[in-house]
A and B are shown apart, each in its own frame.
Chain A
């Protein structure tokens, strides 16, 4: 574990050096996140100016859910999002050879190598927004304690599901489209499960558990008696991790090392 942490610290250092060389890009990424947050929260705000409730939730509950998902998205943007775009090019050009030769698990090097330090700057804004709407509901003391852990759990499930989807890049020539598919999955998970109709909800809860990313922890935070959501989240995490390890091993067998 310490070995991996030391490598990760080096990744962070090199990414900070790289990011500080391109200052305008650095600022633009901060701006991008802000525009995204405003758009996501603004959409919910404007809708609730005209309706009383969507499903069982009032305005503050859906605003909290959206802020929660933005926290997950914030971690995603800062820690792993860049890696998916690099992977598609690395497979096509055979650059993955250098990663596979290293004495660390390839999943770690492929998906945790590139970090966006600029995205971390918005942490205060999005965490502040989440806390603000949490206070409006208001959340129980237990929910406040669990909140950071749930954001990490949700981020982990999102990341694992996206790693699985990205593995399909090994089977096709041009992987950029897969990245767009991945982003659509994020879009679907940014709305609570109850807006989807029965068949869609079941498919995206059981077969491809993307609706558990946000809906499961937030339902539990609002009402701890809904423990089955939390159980679903844990089961989805374990099963998805096992599927990922299998799929990744198959994907690496498929890799043709284009440059060799």
Chain B
């Protein structure tokens, strides 16, 4: 039974992998392109800010440290925040989830296996990105220890991100357009997670409030781990773990309630 189930996961993983790699241009434009452009803008912006003197310190960062911060922000977003549940709501709205109700492989299992395939691909893309930045001399102080710790935490964050995306997707039982929620989350998380500006730039009282939310753990703290700065790792895992658990429970309840409303449109 366990072997059969593992085989189903494996097959779904393989299908999802080939789906992602078949439309390569689409993958590059949809997943890698936005993060690269985001980095490109930030690089230019900080170059303009530090133009007069690259050695001046702005809130603890000189130019090199700021660029290094944003390179790690790029890596973290590739590992932790790349996945989007763009098709979930459409599958619900168009009645495509009927298949999952009949087949012995659940909706969440299918999407989680697809997420794992996506993460494997992102793992590879992020490793290539790190190698490229390292070879250009932009990431100088690479440590295997911090790399492993950073990857582990970012992968843990990716589970949170996937759960959150899944949550917005299954709200499609009630909402016509769930993409709005997804974009709100993406904009808010980019601003509040330290992906645009390091959190040292925000007022301390605001950062204290943010620390109770999952936002700083999506970018700022993973970057700190990759760069070898000391943070309370246990608190970070606990925070994200707690939020992920809450969202998974919410997902379970929403699915149970939502499936009762499902009309299998188009059947």
Q: Do A and B make up one complex? A: yes
Q: Is the CB of A183 within 8 A of B175?
A: no
Contact status of A187 and B41, CB under 8 A, knowing A39-B191, A50-B59, A177-B23: yes
Report the minimal beta-carbon distance from B163 to chain A, rounded to whole angstroms: 20
Q: Does A242 sit within 8 A of B, measured CB to CB?
A: no
**Complex CA distance for A173 and B27, rounded to whole angstroms:** 13
Give the contacting residue for B45; candidates A28, A36, A195; CB below 8 A. Answer: A195
A sample of 20 more A-B contacts (CB under 8 A), given A49-B201, A197-B47, is A24-B175, A32-B187, A35-B188, A43-B191, A46-B201, A47-B49, A50-B59, A54-B49, A172-B25, A172-B26, A173-B23, A178-B29, A180-B30, A180-B33, A184-B37, A187-B37, A187-B38, A191-B44, A194-B48, A195-B45
Q: Does A25 sit within 8 A of B, measured CB to CB?
A: yes
Q: Is the CB of A177 within 8 A of B45?
A: no
Q: Is the CB of A42 within 8 A of B180?
A: no
Report the minimal beta-carbon distance from B209 to chain A, rounded to whole angstroms: 15
Chain B residue, CB-CB nearest to A82: B177
Name B's A-contacting residues (CB within 8 A): 23, 25-30, 33-34, 37-38, 40-41, 44-45, 47-49, 51, 58-59, 86, 174-177, 180-181, 183-184, 187-188, 190-191, 196-197, 201-202
Q: Is the CB of B34 within 8 A of A32?
A: no
Report the minimal beta-carbon distance from B26 to chain A, rounded to whole angstroms: 4
**Complex CA distance for A4 and B70, rounded to whole angstroms:** 48
Write 6 A-B pairs (CB below 8 A) sorted by A numbering: A22-B175, A32-B183, A39-B191, A55-B51, A177-B27, A194-B48
Give the contacting residue for B33; candidates A181, A191, A200; CB below 8 A. Answer: A181
Report the minimal beta-carbon distance from B216 to chain A, rounded to whole angstroms: 15
**Complex CA distance for A29 and B183, rounded to whole angstroms:** 10
Give the contacting residue for A196; candidates B33, B44, B49, B177; CB below 8 A. Answer: B44
Residues of A within 8 A of B202 (CB): 46
Q: Is the CB of A174 within 8 A of B197?
A: no
**Complex CA distance for A47 and B198, rounded to whole angstroms:** 10
Report the minimal beta-carbon distance from B192 to chain A, rounded to whole angstroms: 9
Cβ-Cβ contact count across A and B, 8 Å cutoff: 98
Give the contacting residue for A29; candidates B33, B41, B180, B187; CB below 8 A. Answer: B180
Residues of B within 8 A of A35 (CB): 184, 187-188
Report the minimal beta-carbon distance from A40 to chain B, rounded to whole angstroms: 9
Q: Is the CB of A42 within 8 A of B191?
A: yes
Contact status of A32 and B180, CB under 8 A, knowing A174-B26, A197-B44, A200-B44: yes
Q: Is the CB of A184 within 8 A of B175?
A: no
Residues of A within 8 A of B184 (CB): 28, 31-32, 35
Give the contacting residue for B30; candidates A22, A46, A51, A177; CB below 8 A. Answer: A177
Name the interface residues of A111-155: CB closer than 8 Å to any CB of B.
none
Residues of B within 8 A of A31 (CB): 180, 184
Q: Is the CB of B59 within 8 A of A25?
A: no
Q: Is the CB of B23 within 8 A of A174?
A: yes
Give the contacting residue for A43; candidates B38, B181, B196; CB below 8 A. Answer: B196
Chain A residue, CB-CB nearest to B51: A55
Report the minimal beta-carbon distance from A244 to chain B, rounded to whole angstroms: 21
Q: Is the CB of B187 within 8 A of A39?
A: yes
Chain B residue, CB-CB nearest to A30: B180
Chain B residue, CB-CB nearest to A22: B176
Chain B residue, CB-CB nearest to A49: B201
Give the contacting residue for A188; candidates B29, B30, B37, B177; CB below 8 A. Answer: B37
| Top 8 closest pairs, chain A to chain B, by CB | A177-B29, A177-B26, A195-B48, A184-B37, A39-B191, A28-B180, A22-B176, A174-B26
Q: Does A176 sit within 8 A of B, measured CB to CB?
A: yes
**Complex CA distance for A196 and B48, rounded to whole angstroms:** 7
Q: Is the CB of B41 within 8 A of A176?
A: no
